[in-house]
Amino acid sequence: MGAYTIATSKMEQGNQAQADAVQERERPREQRRERARGNSRGRGGRGDRGGRDRKRDIGRAEWSKNKVDRRTQQTENREAAKRRKLDGKEEEIPIYAVKFSKEEIDAQEKKPKRKVAVMIGYSGSGYKGMQLNHHEKTIEGDLFSAFVAAGAISKANADDPKKSSLVRCARTDKGVHAAGNLISLKLIVEDPDIVAKINEKLSPQIRVWGIERTNGSFNAYNFVDSRIYEYLIPTHSFLPPHPKSFLAKKIVELAEEADDLEGYLSRQAEVANVWAEMEEKYVKPVIAAIDPVIRELALKALYDHDYNMVSADSMPVTEEQKQATREITPQGQFDSVTAAIKIEASHEEAPLFAKKSQIGGTTKDDPDAKPLLEVAAIKHSKVLTPLEIAVRLLKQAHVTAKKAYRIHPARLARVQSVLSRFVGTHKFHNYTVDKSAKDASATRIIKSFNVNSTPIIINDTEWLSLKVHGQSFMMHQIRKMVSMVAFIVRCGCHDGRMQDSFMADRISIPKAPSLGLLLERPVFDAYNERLEQFGHKKIDFGRYEKEMEEFKQREIYERIFREEEKESVFHAFFSALDNTKSAQLLYLSSVGLEATKRRIENEDGGVKKEEGIEDVDSEDDRKGDGEEG
């Protein structure tokens, strides 16, 4: 083929390509998208997913390239509203919104709206999270109502937060707190007392710290650099598993197998005798007082996760057992988990009686009052047997012993050493849900993770404050990070095992209780540096440090401490996992990841059905708690 022919052919190909491009531009938008999806699947590209259209959790950058067609969405919403109107249906508005009449709207003086950043703090208790919800009580819902009531949002815009361009910086779920969070929206802020007026309309659980003017393009979510979270945890969470628990026995057994027993014992040196000392002081007196008939059964039920306690039907209540129960019952109140009743007792007062409020007016002063062991439990309509009471008393003795624990400086230093392993850029696919090591969005940056070297003592329990500073966090990430640190320290695992969690292998990391989690504040350093030169004030939570600290103590910390005192959330969480017969946590042993692939045998030699550690996660998970940012 000659040079002329080749040149002519290339020219024709170029003209055809140009014509095809013009024709493609003239196609309707939906047809272009469909053709692009078809071509992608045909090439085996991103659209080719082996015949399955999988949803992917993409990162912010990729998400921004695939924005929703808002014009189409708005048109559809308007058409839906017209259909409801034609059908004679009253348009439903959210519980936080107010629909004013046309006369009321026209009568209100028109005032200009300004784009602002609103710095807030809140206790999440009693709220269904931060984010607006059509039918549920939320933090943003109460804020929006307060803005309207204080005149910061006009009556014309009181029925829809979208009219004010409301955007949150970080979402927090049900029950999670924030000392500092931020929303951006358009408000009427001419009144110098507007912050005070808004706070007057809010519950004491929610405070507006300040309102700052921003430029028109400011977006609370897109402009935030990073976030700082705090996690409060009792120091007894770093105690080793009880020596009789399944996890403790397996850790020692595997250390011997790996010829690392000496190394394991050196890593646990500062707590080598702690359980023996605590049991001698707090647990043995209770064990000694339990009726010998049920003593061994009670101990087995306490430490064996699989053990089914003898029911009331198969264990008759004798007078001797009643007397033994009276003698070991501690002075004061005792919560029965199964029975859901409270009893009062002392060594001088016997027999034991249920409280008046829980058994229909029966009190210890009534002639017909019945001993505790004869009172039907409210929740399960069954009699509490001496065995059930003994087990609960033993659990309470362990809780009391743990509360008396004070962390050793060497153990505190180890906590910090393990926390520091998170700093930097790592793959956190094992610290969230439904992500693989290949997923780019699982890679996150942790700027710092530190423990306050000075523990605090509240209600006789010693607490530590952990603070993590990162760009952004995935679902459950912080709680799983805290849990990983706690288990590495308490199991005497080598710090380097943390690195395995960043590798491709999947490992099971339980979620620590959400009780101790709070968002301390978001960080806007880049925005502050860029906008300060144009006369805008910095977004600086430091100006409200005193008010925020007082609020944290009153509305957040005290709630956390009260709930732990009442429910023993952390004790229940770690005890349940220590006694769960599963290989999933055995990567914490000296053998490492290989141990998680082994089968667990029952006492009779049969293979035990593997349990998932998620099955014994804390109850708060099923209430929808968590953190995002």
477-490 helix and 409-419 helix, angle to the nearest 10 degrees: 140
Close Cβ partners of 526 (under 8 Å, ≥ 6 residues apart)? 223, 225
Asked whether 474 and 428 are in contact (CB, 8 A), the reply is yes
Asked whether 184 and 165 are in contact (CB, 8 A), the reply is yes
Asked whether 613 and 581 are in contact (CB, 8 A), the reply is no
For residue 79, with 0-12 CB atoms within 10 Å meaning exposed, 13-18 middle and 19 or more buried, which class applies?
exposed
Asked whether 122 and 177 are in contact (CB, 8 A), the reply is yes
264 appears as a binding residue in the annotation: no
Catalytic positions are 173
Q: Give SS3 for 196.
A: helix
Secondary element (H or E) of residue 183: strand 177-187
Secondary element (H or E) of residue 457: strand 456-458
C-alpha–C-alpha distance, residues 29 and 31, integer Å: 5
Residue with token string 């269904």: 128
Torsion region of 172: left, alpha or beta (phi above 0 gives left; psi -120 to 50 gives alpha)? beta
Residue type at 101? Answer: S
Q: CA dihedral defined by 435, 441, 447, 450, rounded to 10 degrees?
A: -20
- Which of 277, 562, 248 has the alpha carbon at shortest distance from 402? 277
Hey, CA dihedral for 603, 609, 610, 614, is it positive or negative? negative
Residue with token string 């709070």: 518
Known binding-site residues equal 229
Known binding-site residues for substrate equal 229
